[in-house]
Amino acid sequence: MGKKKDAVDLGALEKDTHKLSDKDYEARLDALQKQLMSIQEAYLMQQRRALLVFEGTDAAGKGGTIRRLMTKLDPRFCKVWPIAAPTQEEQGRHYLARFFARLPAPGTIAVFDRSWYGRVLVERVEGLIDKDAWSRAYDEIVAFERMLADDGAVLVKIYLHIGPQTQARRFVERISDPLKRWKITPRDFEARRFFDQYRAAAEEMIRRTATKQAPWTVLPGENKRHARIAALETIVERLSHKVDLAPPPLDRALCALARKELGMTIEDGG
């Protein structure tokens, strides 16, 4: 028999007390964003592909982390996909079908704000599909991600978790802030009624779909700044693994063309 995977205890993350000073946070964030720029250039020049998957408790900080991720990246080569409920047309197809159309092209990175894991989270927890459907989805998802990894794509999966007290406080903050009210709807309160069931479903999801090629990074979101830095550090580490991040060498033919057409000599600034 194979070794049973370790259990995941999201409840333990609700007691997290990590904090960052303003100075430390800004310095680390700036350094990580510059590293991400180098990574994006390397992926573009080397025609690599990556998928970044964000899942987590409502109001755990997925959106804020994605915004910091995207701040200095070229949006032409890094696409964010906010995943909502499937359309009526999409409901008539296999649940993974709509994600094939969103896979990254060579040289690009795709960011999923929620993903195919809705099958074993919201659809399971709120009884939108039967048990047979969500039970077989674990193996289907593992096979899907193995196919992507075998085809050369890099997968980074981040799960952010907060406790019910923190979630309640952030819901109130969103309602009170005119610039954040768009983030909350009655649907969020409906899902909150299933908080314990979502936590249990997420723990099983993480345990059953964490693989060597597509591991989960589970982070406490009680402190937004700490969670953002930890998530970006994970992304930088995973995307840069065995990737040459050095700038491409100067194209001598291009330099000769510039000298001929523009009368200018270009020096290598690397």
Other beta carbons within 10 Å of 202: 23
Lookup result for tokens 């970044």: 52
DSSP 223: S
The domains located in the chain, with CATH, are 10-262 (3.40.50.300)
pLDDT at 220: 98
* Closest C-alpha to 139, from 48, 205, 79, 60: 205
pLDDT at 3: 46
Residues of the chain with pLDDT under 50: 1-3
pLDDT at 71: 97
pLDDT tens-digit profile of 50-93? 999 999 999 999 999 999 999 999 999 999 999 999 999 999 99
pLDDT at 4: 53
pLDDT at 2: 42
Interacting residues of 264 by C-beta distance below 8 A, sequence separation 6+: 258
pLDDT at 250: 86
Burial class of residue 57, CB neighbours in 10 A (0-12, 13-18, 19+)? buried
pLDDT at 7: 85
pLDDT at 193: 97
Are the C-beta atoms of 49 and 108 separated by less than 8 Å? yes
* Closest C-alpha to 228, from 51, 52, 25, 14: 25
CA distance 64 to 221: 11
Angle at 81 between CA 85 and CA 221, to 5 degrees: 85
Lookup result for tokens 């994600």: 99
